Amino acid sequence: ETNAKRDYKIDKIEALATKIESATAKSAQLTEEIVTLQNELSASSKSQAEMDNLRSEEKAVFVESKAELDKGLKGIKLALQILKDYYAKDGSHSKAEGGASGVIGLLEVCESDFSKNL
């Protein structure tokens, strides 16, 4: 009976030792995964910070140029209105109408481009 108990205990110890080895290996694997994930997270955070800085720079450029674009757009609209009013009068400007339509067309394209940039 003592040998049987002893054999049982030895088997139990060996089973527990195997479980410990398995758990230790799993722990080492998980530790490696943690390190890898931490490195990836760090790289991702760095990339996000760079993208945030780039976006801030782009916003600053836009804010700076927006005032100029608004001013230019107002000027173009005013020029268009003046030319349209001028050439809308009773046909007294028939010689220059061909050139006027080209200028008006060009101003309309400029107006469209300025509007798109806003």
At 92, which amino acid appears? Answer: S
Residue 90 has what pLDDT? 62
Residue 98 has what pLDDT? 61
Is the pLDDT reported for residue 93 higher than 60? no
Q: Which tens digit of pLDDT belongs to each residue from 45-88? A: 999 999 999 999 999 998 888 888 889 889 989 998 888 888 77
Residue with the larger pLDDT of the pair 109 and 31: 31
Q: DSSP states of 54-66 as a string?
A: HHHHHHHHHHHHH
Question: What are 97's two structure tokens?
Answer: 């109408």
At 105, which amino acid appears? Answer: G
The Cβ of residue 114 has, within 10 Å, a number of other Cβ atoms equal to: 19
pTM equals: 0.51
The Cα–Cα gap between 33 and 30 comes to: 5
Domain ranges of the chain: 2-117
